[in-house]
Structure 1
Amino acid sequence: MSAEILHHAGDSPVHRLPAQVKIVAALLTVIGVVATPREEFWAFGLYLVLIVTVWRIARVPVAHFAKRALIEVPFVALALLMPLFGGAAGALAGWNILAKGTLGVLTSLTLAATTTPRELIVGLQRLRTPAVLTTIATLMLRYLEVIAAEARRMRLARISRGHDPRFLWQVGATARGVGALFIRSYERGERVHLAMVSRGWRGAMPDRGVAASPAVWLAGLTPVLVTAAVLTTALVGHA
């Protein structure tokens, strides 16, 4: 699976924003959504309109998000079951999970759709994320496809030798294959680390990002300002 399966290539104003601005905007937007009282139904509708507006500006089709939002299905099922066990209070709790969970997922998908994995790593570096975390994330993204390709080759090799993963008694072979994949990945990681050290690796990834000007920050945080206005109105009305 591609490391950029969530990304939708484009050249919109949203795509061109520095990653650190989009990361902060997404985080603050989710915090605002979570802090909104669950009884203020209108506020969640406005949040959804705000997200769809960002999609239009980014020129990313709704279908792109609809397919990837299926990850939320278990939470949707839980929210739909809660009224059966909790009555009116359960229905309100289910709505709370469904509304805030859906908006959080859509916000995260919007960030991923308009920012490549490499840009996300650079953005985290610009936000002074600990170097060890950004290094681990960088290597994980870099070798995810390598490990996936290795797993496919091992699977084809087993099938060509008569392995049928549908049969229960073949589970031992599958388990041994997973173990072999782990050992190969570990050995590959050691070789990569030695190669990096021999080329001057000092434990920190180079920062190739660009600083964002105050004007860019203001433009990128516009959705946060809208979210803050909606949240403030909701809190005042709920008081």
Structure 2
Amino acid sequence: MPPVRRGWTASFCAWLQHLTEHTDGLKARIRDAAARLAAQIVPEAAGGQVERVGARFALVGAAGELATAAGLTGWPEGEAQRAARECFNAWLAARGGTGNGEVSAMLRQVRRFLEAHGEGRFTWWHRAADDHNSKTLHRAGFRRMVNDRGEPIKTNSDHLSEYGDRMPATMGESVSVEYFVLTEVFRSEVCHGFDPQTVARVLLEHECLIRKDADRFTIKERLPAMAPTWCYRIAPRIFDA
């Protein structure tokens, strides 16, 4: 066995022996030391993810100090805490801030899906009955224009009477677009990698989801050329979130 590996093995065995010989009050001491260190390294008003990661680094630092006190590391007192603090700060810098990164990632993922598939997989609501409208393959739902008065453009005649043959890209702030995402697409594709209920809750908290019933995130909508269907109604605000 290589010398380095033998050295680490011996240290690990000595650490386990120390833990088994000093079990009285050990859990409380490590918990209290980790809590004190976490309070020092985690910034105030940090998001939940930052707090959880900071607590893990603090636990490692507290355990390192315990091992140092037992004469197992050869480090000066406080070195393990200093290393844990530096590692946490490096993680925080790479992360880009103290906000809730999971929430930001969910909002970005929903927005990215709509930006990537809005043209190809969402049928224009007001043109759904138009035989000359291009067919939507692998439909993810419908998109509907909303005028600057908050009124939806539901038919082609509504669109022509207010905007002529202009499309949203040329209308500036006079029109916005909301999306009706089919439930299975939302759960399996839009929320891929995340819990759909959590994503829906985040959207609701950021005013990006419109619902009718307080006990559910979906709405039952009579979508064009479809029977009443459960779907997620994503507000235009998603592009500003």
In the superposition, the TM-score normalised over structure 2's length comes to 0.20
Greater RCO, 1 or 2 (C-alpha within 8 Å, sep 6+): 1
More strand by share: 2
More helix by share: 1
